[in-house]
Amino acid sequence: MRYLPLTDTDRADMLAKIGAASIDDLFVDVPAVAQLDGPIRDLPMHASEMAVERHMKKLAAKNMVAGEVPFFLGAGAYRHHVPASVDTIIQRGEFLTAYTPYQPEIAQGTLQVLFEFQTQVARLYGCAVANASLYDGSTACWEAVAMATRVTKRKRAVLSGALHPHYAQVVKTMAHFTGDDIADAQPAIQTEPDHEGLIARIDDETACVVVQYPDILGRISDLTPVAEAAHAKGALLVVVNTEPVALGAIRSPGEMGADIVVGEGQSLGVGLQFGGPYLGLFAVRDPKHVRQMPGRLCGETVDAEGKRGFVLTLSTREQHIRREKATSNICTNSGLCALAFSVHMTLLGEKGLRELAAENHRLACLAADRLTKIPGVKLLNDAFFNEFTLMLDGRPAREVVRDLASRGVLGGVSLGRLYPGVEALQQALLVAVTETTTEDDIEEFAAKLEVLVKEAA
């Protein structure tokens, strides 16, 4: 077996040293009822590299690859071009095969990357401090709500109707068990988010208001009035961003008064990967909130010779110190995804990120104009970054998406799939465009969509 270096002679020598007659002697503490007499039945025996590769390739071939067809899906996961050097760097064994930097003297590579990553995320979000990543955007969203309840000592969170419904579900699942009170709503089909409705739900019991920016329908709007209304009632504003590239073009949440900014970092460096692993981003605008933040933090310090170095810090908030007093049970972060994000961001720089964002927006405007030329297709939002909502006459968008796929186009996410019970949203199609979209892709999508919409009419 190619990964196991011990020979039978080694095994015999080692058992002799231990004073055991056979390997079974080392399993004497396992009760007989749980001892198996041989390899588990119903599972195959070991296989060669070539055979395993054949099996996995066969499974991979059953999937329609995003990069090989016109592709317009978003809703919290975006297809961007990842420069080749990103994957080369994350595959370096010293990054790939290292553990959590518990011994900082020999983990300065990972630690410096995390420090640089924290700085990049904080600046992108317009915040003072970011942590060293969480699992993904949706779990980061729950952690933000949990943190807001700790900071304000209140138990009620008001969710915007236009928060990604999966994020809202994660928050509600967790809150059910922690006893926090979650108020949420469905998104209204209108050109702008309903800030007045949201503000009206903030009261003296509210720990935080959670808004998404750009929101699940792709809409963007000024959040300053929501921030002011929340602060006036002693509540925090949590802003969720699922497309970090957008922040190369539009104002940062921190600048608009967000207290906690969380989001999904998948767009930069990480890739689609059918939903994971992704990268949870988490930042706070006010440095005094740092000690209430969940997850890992990397801090600067000096070594015994006075040289600058980095360590994980403030871990008294974490599971391995105070056990039942821990404010979070987080043990793993998304270190390697954070590295990929950071390398991609370094390659872009300020100039590249702004240009990337502009190119995304340019192509999205182009697509919106082209698609709304189709009779029976209307654009919902006036303002958007790289994702917008189309309203289709006739058939449910869910069926249209299915039929488009069988014609070789991955044409957006139907809101009916995200909101199965909500009648008003069944005709809505969420379309995302990135720099990987070509004008030919847009044309092919439009031609095939037109046929399907016409069939329905």
- Minimum CB distance to other proteins smaller for 43 or for 457: 43
* 147: contact with other proteins by CB under 8 A: no
CA dist 127 and 130 (Å) reads 7
By rule CB under 8 A, what string of x and - marks binding of each residue 2-41 to other proteins? xxxxx---xx-xxx-xxxx--x-xxxxxxx-xxxx-xxxx
Selected range binding other proteins among 153-161, 203-211, 290-298, 442-450, rule: CB under 8 A: 290-298
For residue 7, give Cα distances in angstroms to 1, 27, 49, 239, 285.
10, 20, 21, 57, 58
Among 149, 160, 334, 389, binds other proteins (CB under 8 A): 334
For residue 134, give Cα distances in angstroms to 122, 297, 375.
14, 11, 44
CA dist 209 and 389 (Å) reads 24
DSSP state, residue 307: -
Q: Is 145 helix (H, G, I), strand (E, B) or coil?
A: helix
Selected range binding other proteins among 195-203, 309-317, 370-378, 442-450, rule: CB under 8 A: 309-317
Least CB distance from residue 430 to other proteins, whole Å? 9
Q: Do 60 and 54 contact (CB within 8 A), yes or no?
A: no
Q: Do 187 and 216 contact (CB within 8 A), yes or no?
A: yes
Least CB distance from residue 170 to other proteins, whole Å? 6
Least CB distance from residue 376 to other proteins, whole Å? 21
Q: Kindly state the tokens that stand for 213.
A: 């920016």
Q: CB neighbours of 34 closer than 8 A, spacing ≥ 6?
A: none
Rg (CA), the chain: 25
Least CB distance from residue 375 to other proteins, whole Å? 22
Instruction: List beta partners, residue 264.
Output: 280
* 307: contact with other proteins by CB under 8 A: yes
**Among 287, 251, 252, 248, which Cα is nearest to 268's?**
248
Quick one: CA torsion of 119, 121, 122, 123, rounded to 10 degrees? Answer: 90
Least CB distance from residue 224 to other proteins, whole Å? 10
**Among 26, 25, 23, 28, which Cα is nearest to 11's?**
23
- Minimum CB distance to other proteins smaller for 181 or for 233: 181
* 274: contact with other proteins by CB under 8 A: yes
* 49: contact with other proteins by CB under 8 A: yes
Residues 106-145 that bind other proteins (CB under 8 A): 106-110, 112-113, 115-116, 118-120, 122-124, 128-130, 132-133, 135-139
Per this entry, what is the length of the chain? 457
CA dist 163 and 159 (Å) reads 7
Least CB distance from residue 162 to other proteins, whole Å? 14
Among 70, 161, 248, 265, binds other proteins (CB under 8 A): 248
Least CB distance from residue 410 to other proteins, whole Å? 6
Least CB distance from residue 300 to other proteins, whole Å? 4
* 225: contact with other proteins by CB under 8 A: no
* 87: contact with other proteins by CB under 8 A: yes
Least CB distance from residue 405 to other proteins, whole Å? 4
Among 89, 144, 237, 374, binds other proteins (CB under 8 A): 89
* 150: contact with other proteins by CB under 8 A: no
- Minimum CB distance to other proteins smaller for 204 or for 288: 288
Q: Is 296 helix (H, G, I), strand (E, B) or coil?
A: coil
Residues 187-216 that bind other proteins (CB under 8 A): none
Residues 393-432 that bind other proteins (CB under 8 A): 401-402, 405-406, 410, 413, 417, 420-421
**Among 138, 353, 344, which Cα is nearest to 247's?**
353
- Minimum CB distance to other proteins smaller for 47 or for 183: 47
* 370: contact with other proteins by CB under 8 A: no
For residue 407, give Cα distances in angstroms to 28, 74, 294, 445.
61, 19, 45, 10
* 149: contact with other proteins by CB under 8 A: no
- Minimum CB distance to other proteins smaller for 161 or for 411: 411
Least CB distance from residue 371 to other proteins, whole Å? 14
In this structure, the strands spanning 260-264 and 236-241 are parallel
**Among 121, 131, 113, which Cα is nearest to 328's?**
131
